[in-house]
A and B are shown apart, each in its own frame.
Chain A
Amino acid sequence: MNEHELADLQSVASRHPAVALYVFGSTIHGQETPIDLDMLAVYATLQDFVALRADLDRQPFAPLIDLVAMTPDELRGSGFLVRSGAVPLAALR
């Protein structure tokens, strides 16, 4: 994902403040430039997630986003954040 795409992605995220977005996988931990972007969306209501997904799907880079989506409850019991080493999207520059 290049700088322009990252900026567009952060713009999408800003339109959906009810969904917390994280990035994990080879984008932040890999050596080579990854093909796709692994993301975690933490949503309170399904409507929030559906709205985010629809917005993401309108972006050209949508086919290259691999999205895991969890409610806060689901995330708490999963250990996903620790295991994946996910970082908030906003931390990416």
Chain B
Amino acid sequence: MTIVDSFILSKYTSMDVVLDAEAERSHVRIARKRHRSVRFGVVKTQDVTVAKIGHLFDGEVDFIVNIPATGIFQGEAIELCQDEGVGWGGLADSMRAVRYEEPYTYTHPAHSFVLPALRRHSHVRSVSFVDSRRLLVTRPGGLPPLVLYIEDTYQTEVTSVRFAIDRCWPFDIFVAIDPNAGPTRQAVSAAHNAGVEILRWGETLGRLRR
């Protein structure tokens, strides 16, 4: 059974930079107008692990696409993609990556925002992916490591907090990174009731010092 259905193909072929898209069981080959053709491996799972994507690395692959919007790439799967020089993300991410001359260089906007800032922070020694929602931050000077849950929705609400706890527990800080709006009052209460520290991005940068 092919993973790549007509809906997925139609999303790529509807893009102005794409000439054609063709399904190859668990891959899709996308011919582009201005750049070389690319080949994306496709999975449909809530939990992206090495075991579930290993078979997709059979030759030339540019991007690993996981279709469910709520799917989570585990850290080991992200590491495999990085080691192989392959991009990764959801369907919308893959469509954005199609516009890149080299799709593997695409990074999710939330990660593009937080990773550089964390890596140049004076109180951060290293940053690595626990999964696509959580980052492990190690710190110098005897400060304990922290796991940050990164939430990039337009405004953090109760359902975001519940999703984080249900799917990505444990973590030390729920970080709401949208600069325009902080978490709703109810989301803050839900987090506190669950014993979760919830901060905005600027607050998080300060929190890393202690």
Q: Which residues of A contact B (CB under 8 A)?
A: 2, 24-25, 33, 35-36, 38, 49, 57, 60-66, 68-71, 73-74, 77-80, 83-84
Q: Which residues of B contact A (CB under 8 A)?
A: 5, 7, 11, 14, 67-70, 90-92, 95-96, 153-155, 157-159, 180-181, 184-187
**A residues near B91, Cβ cutoff 8 Å:** 63-64
**A residues near B180, Cβ cutoff 8 Å:** 83
Shortest beta-carbon distance from A4 to chain B in Å: 10
Distance between Cα atoms of A63 and B14 in the complex (Å): 16
**Complex contact B68–A70 (CB within 8 A):** no
Number of A-B residue pairs having CB atoms within 8 Å of each other in the complex: 64
Shortest beta-carbon distance from B199 to chain A in Å: 18
Smallest CB-CB A-B distances: 4 pairs = A60-B7, A63-B91, A69-B159, A36-B92
- Secondary structure of the A contact surface, majority rule: mixed
**B residues near A66, Cβ cutoff 8 Å:** 69, 92, 153
**Complex contact A68–B5 (CB within 8 A):** no
Distance between Cα atoms of A38 and B155 in the complex (Å): 12
**B residues near A57, Cβ cutoff 8 Å:** 68, 70
Knowing A73-B186, A77-B184, A80-B181, the reply to whether A64 touches B92 (Cβ < 8 A) is yes
**B residues near A84, Cβ cutoff 8 Å:** 154
**Complex contact B158–A35 (CB within 8 A):** no
Besides A35-B95, A68-B155, A83-B181, 8 more A-B contacts (Cβ < 8 Å) are: A35-B96, A36-B92, A57-B70, A68-B157, A69-B158, A71-B186, A78-B157, A84-B154
